[in-house]
């Protein structure tokens, strides 16, 4: 069994129009959402073995705030995850060592949402529809796979266990 947690970075700031997109920080709402998502994962005892994280500032900040709530977990920052396609994100997941049972991937849309939709073949129809309608900033899709290693995950092979948005969580 493998569990993939797809977390879209939290809401970023547009206060500095000339700032390079890669360097945009989280705004206050995004900071709050990432912290709440970390608390949610701590309450659910859903702790990844590894974070794969885009090296963009807003993704790194999201990871730091989530991780602060659930313990110190190994993080690998990858430039290739910045605005990556679903195919590139899937490739990154498939290269993870087999000892990792729960992987959290923190990235960007549209690739992250496309990957979630691509991988999920079962689970609550209502939650799948909700995820397909909108995958907002700070949202988390938890997808489970009946397999022995990450190389075996692929199109339609996953079951959507949960889809959680920051607005679903209490402060």
pLDDT tens track for 70-84:
987 899 999 999 999
State the first-to-last Cα distance of the chain, in angstroms, to the nearest integer: 32
CATH number belonging to the domain at 2-168, selected among 3.40.50.1240, 3.30.465.10, 1.10.3720.10, 3.40.50.720 = 3.40.50.1240
Mean pLDDT of the chain: 94
**Tens digits of residue pLDDT in 36-66:** 999 999 998 888 999 999 999 999 999 999 9
- What pLDDT score was predicted for residue 14? 83
The DSSP secondary-structure symbol of 144 reads E
- Over range 102-106, report the average pLDDT: 97
Tokens 């689970």 — which residue? Answer: 123
Residue 144 has pLDDT above 80, yes or no: yes
What token pair was written down for 150? 């990450």
- Over range 109-123, report the average pLDDT: 97
CA distance 66 to 122: 27
What token pair was written down for 165? 């948005």
Q: Beta-carbon neighbour count of residue 3 at 10 Å?
A: 18
- What pLDDT score was predicted for residue 18? 83
Residues 6+ apart with CB under 8 A from 152: 2, 145
- What pLDDT score was predicted for residue 45? 85
Residue 171 has pLDDT above 70, yes or no: no
- Over range 8-18, report the average pLDDT: 89
Q: How confident is the model at residue 135 (pLDDT cuts 50, 70, 90)?
A: very high
CA distance 23 to 73: 23
Residue 170 has pLDDT above 80, yes or no: no
pTM score, whole prediction: 0.95
């Amino acid at each position: 069994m493998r569990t993939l947690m797809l977390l879209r970075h939290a809401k970023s700031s547009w206060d500095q129009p000339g700032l390079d997109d890669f360097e945009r920080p989280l705004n206050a709402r995004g900071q709050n959402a990432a912290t709440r998502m970390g608390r949610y994962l701590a309450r659910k005892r859903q702790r990844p073995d590894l974070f794969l994280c885009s090296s963009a500032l807003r993704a790194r900040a999201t990871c730091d705030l989530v991780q602060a709530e659930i313990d110190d977990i190994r993080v690998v920052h990858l430039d290739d995850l910045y605005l990556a396609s679903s195919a590139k994100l899937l490739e990154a997941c498939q290269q993870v060592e087999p000892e990792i049972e729960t992987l959290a991937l923190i990235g960007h849309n549209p690739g992250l949402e496309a990957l979630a939709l691509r991988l999920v073949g079962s689970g609550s129809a209502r939650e799948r529809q909700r995820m397909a309608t909108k995958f907002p900033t700070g949202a988390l899709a938890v997808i489970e796979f009946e397999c022995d290693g990450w190389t075996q995950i692929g199109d339609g092979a996953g079951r959507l266990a949960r889809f959680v948005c920051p607005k679903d969580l209490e402060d």
